[in-house]
Amino acid sequence: MLNALRSSVRVSRFSSQLRRTLATSADTIPQRASQSRAPAPQFGRVASVEVPKPSPAPRKDVYQLPVNNEELARLNNQHVLLKMLIGGNYTASIKEALADEPGKDKTILDLGCGTGAWAMDMATDFPHCSVVGADVAPMDVGLAPRNLRIDVCDANQGLTLYPDAQFNLVNARMIAMGIKNYPSLIGEISRVLKPGGFLQLQEWDFFVVDAQKKLVGDESWFGRWCAALRHGLAFRSASIGAAESLDSMIKTQGSFDAVQQQNVWMPIGPCFPRDTAEGMRLNLVGEFMRENVKAFIKGGRTLIIGSGMGVEEYDNLAFHATMEVQDVSRPMYLRLNCVTARKQ
């Protein structure tokens, strides 16, 4: 009885904390970058980059979803959920590689940093490290740690801002939608990594699976929506197959060892038993993941219509897909492929 009570208290505290965190992240969305930002240390030949005023819409060949407050809130919430599901922002090996060593500069690069949530976490966790967030459409991260800087960088054009052997860690999470040549990007990441530095990649494969981890097909509205998304991304030459081949691309590149791969199954909806602390935790995660997916369906409208689907057809598909993910009687999951590797 006492153990059950303790579990209940832990879950209750977790529930309250996560809800507060998600609510806060949605309410304190970083706005578009302005000329004022917290000063950051300079290192190497990397210079501060003047952030241009945002255009009405992001370049269609780089970022495939709208850049608005709804999307930024979704990204912030997604960061919290992924951090919980994966167990943190980095592995034990990466933590060891980033440990403070007198006389050695430690630097971190976050590609496609979006709202800057991951980069801000890292700047806080490793105050002795210089952290750089890079994005084609960066946001002002507000009250940023002084060891964090945000650069304007289109990874499709190469990481030309950064010299060889600059970083101890390069992170990229769910950027395949905006990357045209993923093997080339891995080559560039290898170039800017120091020997012994780490690469950390996390990508979704754009498929949905059932409780048995079998692919969901056309009998599912959300399965059809995912198929339409893949078509839309392929239409714009995005790297839709990156998640399935992350580890093989890294091995083929030839300059990495210690390649580690993990599948993380992201539940959509509260479909777990409610009589255990872990079940209740996953149900809460599933609830917020469901809201994230619903926002993603809404945000993908322009992308999918732009690849040839009619407006009425899309709206009908999106409506039924949204209703389906709301139905807890049919558990569904998304697969996140997480890979780390060390530069030789």
8 Å CB contact between 295 and 74: yes
How far is the C-alpha of 266 from the C-alpha of 282, rounded, in Å?
Answer: 9
Query: 98: how many CB neighbours lie within 10 A of its CB?
Result: 21
DSSP 25-89: HHHS---B--S-------BTTBPP-PPPPPPSS--TTT--S--SHHHHHHHHHHHHHHHHHHTSS
Render pLDDT for 175-214 as a digit per residue (tens, 0 to 9).
999 999 999 999 999 999 999 999 999 999 999 999 999 9
Complete domains list, the chain, with CATH: 2-205+239-266+333-343 (3.40.50.150)
Task: Categorise residue 339: left if φ over 0, alpha if ψ from -120 to 50, beta otherwise.
Answer: beta
Q: 10 Å Cβ neighbour count for 216?
A: 20
Residue ranges in the chain whose pLDDT is less than 70: 1-67, 140-141
Q: Which tens digits make up the pLDDT trace of 283-338?
A: 988 998 999 999 999 999 999 999 999 999 999 999 999 999 998 888 899 999 99
**What pLDDT is stored for residue 281 in this prediction?**
87
Task: State residue 12's pLDDT score.
Answer: 42
Rounded CA-CA distance 201/166 in Å is 18
268: which strand partners?
Answer: 332
Looking at the chain, the number of H-run helices and the number of E-run strands are 10, 7
What's the pLDDT at 77?
86
pLDDT attached to residue 336: 95
For the chain, what percent of residues have pLDDT higher than 70?
80
Number of alpha carbons in the 13 Å side-chain half-sphere of residue 96: 5
Q: Are 82 and 173 in contact (CB under 8 A)?
A: yes
What's the whole-model pTM score? 0.81
Distance CA 24, CA 256 (A): 39
Q: What confidence score (pLDDT) does residue 19 get? A: 46
